[in-house]
Structure 1
Amino acid sequence: MTHYYSEQPDSPSQERVIDYTFNGLPFQFTSDKGVFSKNHVDEGSKFLLESMREHLQGFQNLDINRYRKLANGACLDLGCGYGVLGIVSKRLWPGQSWTFSDVNERALALTERNAH
């Protein structure tokens, strides 16, 4: 039996499309068995995205230099799953450069597909 944190899930593939809207922007993610939160964008990811949006907007209004640094910086999505955090963030702040990492090879393959 494998889990979403297994390197090579042995569960048979059963892909599905997850529709998600953030900040008025529509997204579609392909997910699959054997990856974290395979049926929906999880609450933790939603919370992180909302927090990032709020903080960056605050910096944009108060400290433009810090905003530019964050909005155009290098970011790491460690344990990326099928790529929700980095893909949504990159669309909101196109100047960011994202690196995705996950122990699960199926999740990394889905992230690659979802990012393009």
Structure 2
Amino acid sequence: MEAFSLERVANTGETLELVWSDGLVQHIPWSDLRRKCPCAVCQVEREKPTLVEPVKPANLLAVIDRAETLPIRLTSFRAVGNYAYAISFSDGHSSGIYSLSTLRQIGN
């Protein structure tokens, strides 16, 4: 992949807007960035085999934390040198460092 630089980075409220040196403009939803986090913990989680769980009776309701019902939001976004960005999310996750090539791939 050819190395492109970022001309502009903006938080549009719902997405991360990236304007690349080749003119490409990408709008990446925060939920996509969170789901595709490149940190080691998230990579291991994505690679875990999925186990088939027994069917539960339909009348049981899952108890979830209120935070799980809220949309993912950005809480922190900072440059790491000139090659990546560290992004923190509203669910407390903050260990992902997104290289420019990773951001470009996620946006495609």
Give TM-score scaled by structure 1 length: 0.23
Give TM-score scaled by structure 2 length: 0.24
Higher RCO structure (Cα 8 Å, ≥6 apart): 1
| The structure with more strand, counted as a fraction of residues | 2
| The structure with more helix, counted as a fraction of residues | 1
